[in-house]
Amino acid sequence: MQTVQLESRRMHTLVFHVQNNHGVLQRITGIFSRRGLYLTQFYFNGRPNGLTEVQVSFEADERMREHIERQIEKLLDLVP
Amino acid sequence: MNGSQALIESMRAQGQKTLFGIPGGAVLPLYDALSQQSDVRHVFTRHEQGAVHAAQGFARASGQTGVCIGTSGPGATNLVTGIADAYMDSTNIIALMGQVPSQLLGKDAFQETDVFSMTLPLTKHSFKVMQASQFPSVVKSAYRIANTGRPGPVAIEMTKDALTAPVTEWGDRELALNYYVPSEPNQDKIRQAALMLLEAERPMMLAGGGVTIANAGAEFTALAEALMCFAATTITAKGVIPGDHPLCLGQLGMHGRQVTNHAIANCDVLLAVGTRFSDRITGRIESFAPHAKVIHVDIDPSEFNKNVDAFLAIAADAKPGLKELLRHVLAAQRSDRSKAWREKVKELDRQCSCDIARDEVPIRAERVIHELNRHLPENAIVCTEVGHHQMYATHFFKSRKPRHFITSAGAGTMGFGLPAAIGAKAAKPEQPVIDVGSEGSLVMVCQEMATAVTEKLPVSVCNLNNGWYAIVKQWQKLFYDGRYIASKLGDVPDWVKLTESFGGRALRVTRPSELGDAIKEAARSEELFLLDVITDSSDAGMPLVPPLGSNTEMALGQSCPTVERNYFGVR
C-alpha cells in the first residue's frame, strides 16, 4: 500500500512572493500541516511588511500539488 | 478621535448598524465609544459563542456582514467555534477580538491568549491591529475580504492601546492585498455546458450554498425549468428552488432522499453550482454520480477536482454563471431527450413522498415538520440546532425562499440555532423567526434566551424534546450494537419552567393534534416563545447512508420503498 503512494508522490518546489504581514508564515505552513504533509525545505527572505520570497518543497501526488497551489493562490498576502 | 471611535466610524461607513458581543477589560474602550453614539446598535449576548452565531444568523438572513465582539483571552477563544463554523459555511462575518496592550504581548498578561494565531486556519484573513491609525484601512479591507469572492470570516485582533490611542491622521485606503477579482464566465465553456445539458438523456442539477450566497435562486430555478431538469439541493441551498416545486428533489447524501441519491447516481450530466461536494453529500466518493459528466460552476477554483473530478470546470459567481447558461439554453433548439428519464424520476419521487402526518404519541419528528410546513407563513425564517431534528427539517421541511433556512452545515455546531435565530431577527425584525431545535443542542446555548428577552428580539423555539442525543443514539444502535453511552439526556431541564425563568412564554405539546395551533401561535408571538414538543426517540424515520457508504445503499426508514438496483436501466 505504502509503495503505491510513494510511486505516485514526488517532490515539488513552489516559489512565490508574499507580503510579509503578521501570520503569513503560519498561513503558508498551515496549508501543509492541515493536510498531514511535511515540508522538506523552506526558504523565506524579506523585510517586515515588505515583499518576501518564499520557496517550499514537499512531497505529494499531482492532485495534492494542484490543490496546494490553489490554496496558495488564495492567500491575501500573496503578491501575484 | 481615538482608535475605538475610528473603528466604529469605519464600520458605520460600511453600513453596519448592528453588532453582537460581550464586553471585558481589553475591549472596554470600544464599549465606552459605543455608549456615546446611537448609529450602531450593540446586542448584548450572554456568551461569546452566542455573539458569533448571532452574527452568522444576521449575515445569512440578510446577506449583510455580521459583526461580533469578544474581549481578550477567553472572550475571543469563545468566538473561535463560530468563526470555524462561518469558515465552513462561507459566511461573511467580522470577529473583533480584544488583546492586551501591545507592551504586554508575550508577557502572559492577564487574559492574554494568542487569538490572532488561533484564528489563522479558520478565517479568510486575520489582522493584528496594534496602532489606532490602522483601523480605517483595516476595517475597509476586512469588509472587502469578507464579502467578495467566496465570502468568509475575517478576524481583527486589537490591542487595548490601539483602541485608546488618538488617531492623528485619518487614512482609509484599502491595504494592498490579493483580493478576489471578479471575472466573466468563460463563454466557450458556458456554450459547451449548455449543449451538454440540452443533449443529456439523464440530466440533473445540484445547488450548493453558493447559489444562496449569490442570491441566484431565481436563476437556478429558471434554468431547471428551461431544461425541465430535476434539481437537488444541499442543506445550505434549501429554498433556492422552492421545496414544493415539481422539479425540486430536495436533499441528497447521508440524510437525503432515496430518489435524489438514485437520480444523482444514475444521471449522465450533473450541473453542480456553488457546492464543495462535502462527504455528507457524496457518500463513498467512487460511487458518487459514476455515470455523470460533471459540470462544476464555482467562484472558488480551489474547489475544482478537490472531491469530485469536473469534466467541465467553470470559474464564476453562481449568478452570472447561471444567467449565461440560461441565456444559451433559451436560445437553443431543444429536442427533449430526457423525457423518459423524467418520467422515471417523477415516479420514484412519488414513491419516496411518504405520508408524514403521523398520529403516534409521543409525537413523531416527521409530524412536527409536517405541521411546520402547513402552518408557518412563507416569510418565516427557520433556523435549526444541530442533531436529529436538523436532519428531519432538512429532509422534510419545504423551504420556499432562499436565506430562509439557516443551519450549521459544514461544522455541525451544536448550539447554533437559538443565537442564529436572534441574529436573524435583528436583521429581519418584521419576519417571524423560529428555531427548530432539540434539547441536547439547545441546552448548550439556552442562556441566549436572556438575550432574546432583554434585547427584545422575540424568536420562537420549537424544541423537539426526546431526552436523547438522538443521532448519537441512532449511530450507537446501528454501528455499535446498541451500547448506549453518554447519549441519554433524561428529562432535565424542565423547558417550560426554564423559558419562563428567562421571562419568555412556553407551552408543552404532547399530542399531534395540538401542534397546528401551537405553531401558529409561535409564528405570531411577539415575545420569546418556546414549544416543548415531547417527541419519540425510538427510531429514525428517514433513510440513512452509513458513514463512507454508497449513497444508493441506504438503511431504510419504515415507509421507504425498496428501489430496484436497476430501476433506471443504466449500466
My answer on whether B160 and B193 are in the same domain is no
Mean pLDDT, residues A11-28 taken together: 96
Does the pLDDT of residue A2 top 50, yes or no?
A: no
My answer on whether B381 and B522 are in the same domain is yes
Domain boundaries of chain A, sorted by first residue: 2-73
d(CA B55, CA B52): 5
Domain limits for position B249: 187-351
Does the pLDDT of residue A4 top 50, yes or no?
A: no
My answer on whether B329 and B393 are in the same domain is no
Are B38 and B69 in contact, with CB atoms under 8 Å apart? no
My answer on whether B211 and B319 are in the same domain is yes
Give the per-residue pLDDT at B496: 98
My answer on whether B160 and B210 are in the same domain is no
Which of B149, B164, B179 is the C-terminal boundary of a domain?
Answer: B164
pLDDT in tens, A47-72: 888 999 999 999 999 999 999 999 99
Question: For residue A34, what are the β-bridge partners?
Answer: none
d(CA B11, CA B40): 9
Q: Is the peptide bond before B512 cis (omega within 30 degrees of 0)?
A: no
Contact assignment for B301 to A22 by CB distance below 8 Å: no
Residue B455 in any domain: the answer is yes
The domain that holds B337 is classified in CATH as: 3.40.50.1220
d(CA B75, CA B118): 13
Contact assignment for B128 to A23 by CB distance below 8 Å: yes
User: What are the C-alpha distances in Å from A42 to residues A37, A47, B414, B421, B474?
Assistant: 13, 17, 39, 46, 47
Q: How many Cα atoms sit within 13 Å of B404 on the Cβ side?
A: 21
Cα of B318 to nearest chain A Cα, Å: 19
> In chain B, what residues touch A19 (CB-CB under 8 Å)?
176-177
Give the per-residue pLDDT at B85: 98
Burial of B131 (0-12, 13-18, 19+ CB in 10 A): middle
My answer on whether B8 and B84 are in the same domain is yes
Q: Given the C-alpha cell 443521532, which residue does it identify?
A: B471
Give the per-residue pLDDT at A7: 53
My answer on whether B295 and B379 are in the same domain is no
Q: Does B559 touch chain A (CB under 8 A)?
A: no
- Digits of tens for pLDDT over chain B (571 positions)? 999 999 999 999 999 999 999 999 999 999 999 999 999 999 999 999 999 999 999 999 999 999 999 999 999 999 999 999 999 999 999 999 999 999 999 999 999 999 999 999 999 999 999 999 999 999 999 999 999 999 999 999 999 999 999 999 899 999 999 999 998 999 999 999 999 999 999 999 999 999 999 999 999 999 999 999 999 999 999 999 999 999 999 999 999 999 999 999 999 999 999 999 999 999 999 999 999 999 999 999 999 999 999 999 999 999 999 999 999 999 998 788 999 999 999 999 999 998 899 999 999 999 999 999 999 999 999 999 999 999 999 999 999 999 999 999 999 999 999 999 999 999 999 999 999 999 999 999 999 999 999 999 999 999 999 999 999 999 999 899 999 999 999 999 999 999 999 999 999 999 999 999 999 999 999 999 999 999 998 876 689 999 889 999 999 888 889 999 889 999 7
Instruction: Tell me which residue of B355, B358, B419 sits closest to B386, measured CA to CA.
Output: B419
Chain A positions contacting chain B at CB under 8 Å are: 19, 22-23, 26-27, 30, 34, 63, 66-67, 70-71, 73-80
Which of B287, B319, B351 is the C-terminal boundary of a domain?
Answer: B351
My answer on whether B374 and B226 are in the same domain is no
> In chain A, what residues touch B116 (CB-CB under 8 Å)?
22-23
Contact assignment for B305 to A78 by CB distance below 8 Å: no
Residue B178 in any domain: the answer is no
DSSP B219-234: HHHHHHHHHT--EEE-
Give the per-residue pLDDT at B371: 98
- Which residue of A24, A34, A76, A79 to mutate against B (max B Cβ within 10 Å)? A76
Are B313 and B304 in contact, with CB atoms under 8 Å apart? yes
Q: Given the C-alpha cell 498551515, which residue does it identify?
A: A30
Q: Given the C-alpha cell 496594534, which residue does it identify?
A: B130
Q: At what angle do helices B3-13 and B135-147 cross, to 10 degrees?
A: 40
Cβ-based neighbour number of residue B511 at 10 Å: 11
Contact assignment for B120 to A63 by CB distance below 8 Å: no
Please name the residues in contact with B339: beta carbons below 8 A apart, sequence gap of 6 or more: none
Please give the radius of gyration of chain A, using alpha carbons only, rounded to the nearest integer.
13
Distance of CA B381 to the CA centre of its chain: 12
Give the per-residue pLDDT at B537: 85
Burial of B430 (0-12, 13-18, 19+ CB in 10 A): exposed
B window 173-212, beta carbon within 8 A of A: 176-179
Q: Give the CATH architecture of domain A2-73.
A: 2-Layer Sandwich (3.30)
Give the per-residue pLDDT at A5: 45
My answer on whether B402 and B520 are in the same domain is yes
Which of A26, A71, A73 is closest, CB to CB, to B120? A26
My answer on whether B452 and B482 are in the same domain is yes
My answer on whether B249 and B390 are in the same domain is no
SS (H, E, C) B69-113: EECCCHHHHHHHHHHHHHHHCCCCEEEEEEECCHHHCCCCCCCCC
Which of B124, B177, B302 is closest, CB to CB, to A70? B302
Using pLDDT thresholds of 50, 70 and 90, give the confidence band for residue A1: very low
My answer on whether B141 and B16 are in the same domain is yes
Residue B566 in any domain: the answer is no
Q: What total of structural domains would you count in chain B?
A: 3
B window 229-258, beta carbon within 8 A of A: none
Are B225 and B350 in contact, with CB atoms under 8 Å apart? no
Residue in chain B nearest A64 by alpha carbon = B306
Give the per-residue pLDDT at B390: 96
Cβ-based neighbour number of residue B165 at 10 Å: 19
User: What are the C-alpha distances in Å from B132 to residues B5, B139, B156, B243?
Assistant: 9, 12, 13, 49
